[in-house]
Amino acid sequence: MLLTDPTAAQRTVSFFGGKGGVGKTTLAASYALLLAGRGHRTLVVSTDPAHSLGDVLGASLDDEPVELDGGFWACEIDGEKVARRRVEQIGEEAQEAVPREVVPAVERHLDRAAASPGTVESALVDRLTDLLDDLPARWDRIVVDSAPTGHMLRLLSLPALLTPWIEGLVRQREQARGTERMLSGLLGRRNTGPDPLLRRLHDRRTRLERTRHRLLDESVVHLVLVPERLPLAETERAAQALTDAGITLGPVAVNRVSPPDAEGLLADRARQEAQVRADIHERFGDRGTVEIPLLRGEPTTRTGLTGIAEILANAGW
Ligand SMILES: Nc1ncnc2c1ncn2[C@@H]1O[C@H](COP(=O)(O)OP(=O)(O)O)[C@@H](O)[C@H]1O
Ligand SMILES: [Mg+2]
């Protein structure tokens, strides 16, 4: 059973997911423009390491949002850069906290950690959390242009995966503190002050919990596909995985549909697509589907994007 939620359209965070090249960035940008045009302060953020949001919007973007039009903001999060910055910061703190002879070993460990995929993804979640925390003070709506499916699934499930891990660390640290206190008591020393490490772990746990709830209660994922068999198979698997993770699926977007009045090669394609489109409708019709035609040129201008935004609006988005 897939989750159907009639309030999906009112959710404040919309993710666009799907295979590489199906039109996630184009649709995320178009939808964000649509929302901004309706007067919602909207941020569109790309979490795909292969960023193209800036190219589509004709702007140079980094992880600090910039206002491109009144009430329309955009940014691209570079997970590796955020991870490097965070690891550098930990390194500086470690310099003060650990004995000097241990510092080179700590630095080697941090270098390795900075490059590991887990660190990059958790840094991405961290930065995304910062942006989500600015709802509703800074933005009314956030649109996320996600990385291809596998990445997006991991990103969405990371807060849930990390929470028990952090809780384990908190418990370990609390036990260690208990032992430290007992020992200092035995040695007749005064009790030590508040534990900065424990405080940071608690903060992190609270942040992750908040993000997890936002993903479950305030977010919706729109899967994007082109009318072909392989993208449909992947979309079905993604829909199931998202539903299993408790994430709400919104209407599905079928992009680059060949025109019905085509001739030659395109007419052959249109015939093949008809069967896949019928299957998509059967599978996802209950949550709504929207079809976007194959356009003559790449929709990389504002006119192109607002054209797509109109199609979304006519479909009730
Ligand atoms: N409906 C469409 N008609 C024609 N070209 C499209 C359409 N939608 C997207 N494109 C083009 O297809 C390419 C891939 O789209 P993009 O949004 O970057 O996909 P993704 O983000 O899923 O990788 C881009 O060059 C884009 O301009
Ligand atoms: Mg993209």
In-domain check, residue 187: no
The confidence band for 118, taking pLDDT boundaries of 50, 70 and 90, is: confident
In-domain check, residue 222: yes
Burial label, 243 (beta-carbon count in 10 A; 0-12, 13-18, 19+) = middle
Tokens of 298: 């790449």
In-domain check, residue 201: no
Of 15, 25, 26, the one to substitute when testing ligand 1's pocket (max ligand atoms within 8 A of C-beta) is: 26
Cα–Cα–Cα angle for 142, 10, 286, rounded to 5 degrees: 115
pLDDT at 122: 82
For ligand 1, whether the C-beta of 25 sits within 6 Å is yes
The confidence band for 167, taking pLDDT boundaries of 50, 70 and 90, is: confident
The confidence band for 192, taking pLDDT boundaries of 50, 70 and 90, is: low
- Provide the b/e sequence for 261-297 (b: ≥16 CB within 10 Å): eeeeeeeebbeebeebbeebeebbeebbbbbbebeee
Question: Structurally, how many domains does the chain consist of?
Answer: 1
Look at residues 11, 77, 56, 96 and name the one whose alpha carbon lies nearest to residue 302. 56
Residue 4 has pLDDT above 50, yes or no: no
Asked if 37 and 315 count as a contact pair (C-beta separation under 8 A), the reply is no
What percentage of residues in the chain have a pLDDT greater than 70? 94
Look at residues 12, 11, 27, 22 and name the one whose alpha carbon lies nearest to residue 306. 27
Residue 2 has pLDDT above 80, yes or no: no
For ligand 1, whether the C-beta of 20 sits within 6 Å is yes
CA of 26 to the centre of ligand 1 (A): 6
Closest ligand 1 atom to 21 CA: 23
Q: E strands along the chain, which residues? A: 13-17, 42-46, 66-69, 72-76, 141-145, 219-225, 252-257, 289-293
The ligand minimizing its distance to the Cα of 30 is 1
Residue 1 has pLDDT above 60, yes or no: no
pLDDT at 176: 79
For ligand 1, whether the C-beta of 294 sits within 6 Å is yes
Tokens of 231: 């993208």
In-domain check, residue 171: no
Length of the chain: 317
List the single range of 101-115, 194-208, 218-232 with lowest mean pLDDT: 101-115
Q: Which domain holds residue 58?
A: 8-157+217-314
Q: How many CB atoms lie within 10 A of CB 150?
A: 13
Tens digit of each residue's pLDDT (9 = 90 or more) over 47-71: 998 889 999 999 999 999 999 999 9
In-domain check, residue 212: no
For ligand 1, whether the C-beta of 23 sits within 6 Å is yes
Tokens of 85: 């910055």
pLDDT at 178: 80
For ligand 1, whether the C-beta of 64 sits within 6 Å is no
Closest ligand 1 atom to 257 CA: 1
> What is the distance between the alpha carbons of residues 124 and 49, in angstroms, rounded to a whole number?
10
In-domain check, residue 81: yes
Atom 15 (ligand 1) nearest CA: 23
Contacts of 35 (CB under 8 A, 6+ apart): 42, 140, 141, 143
Cα–Cα–Cα angle for 208, 60, 299, rounded to 5 degrees: 95
Atom 5 (ligand 1) nearest CA: 298
> What is the distance between the alpha carbons of residues 291 and 179, in angstroms, rounded to a whole number?
63
The confidence band for 263, taking pLDDT boundaries of 50, 70 and 90, is: confident
CA of 129 to the centre of ligand 1 (A): 28
Average pLDDT over residues 149-158: 80
Atom 11 (ligand 1) nearest CA: 298
CA of 168 to the centre of ligand 1 (A): 43
CA of 295 to the centre of ligand 1 (A): 10
Residue 15 has pLDDT above 80, yes or no: yes
Average pLDDT over residues 300-311: 94
CA of 82 to the centre of ligand 2 (A): 20
Query: What are φ and ψ of residue 74, in 5° steps?
Result: -145, 150
* Residues 184, 189, 191, 195, Cα dihedral to 10°: -60
List the single range of 43-47, 59-63, 191-195, 309-313 with lowest mean pLDDT: 191-195
Sheet bearing 219-225, strands edge to edge = 66-69, 72-76, 42-46, 141-145, 13-17, 219-225, 252-257, 289-293
How confident is the prediction for the chain on average, in pLDDT?
Answer: 88
In-domain check, residue 38: yes
CATH number, domain containing residue 268: 3.40.50.300
The confidence band for 278, taking pLDDT boundaries of 50, 70 and 90, is: very high
Contacts of 207 (CB under 8 A, 6+ apart): 126, 129
Tokens 């000097």 map to which residue?
A: 100
pLDDT at 8: 67
Closest ligand 1 atom to 22 CA: 22
In-domain check, residue 202: no
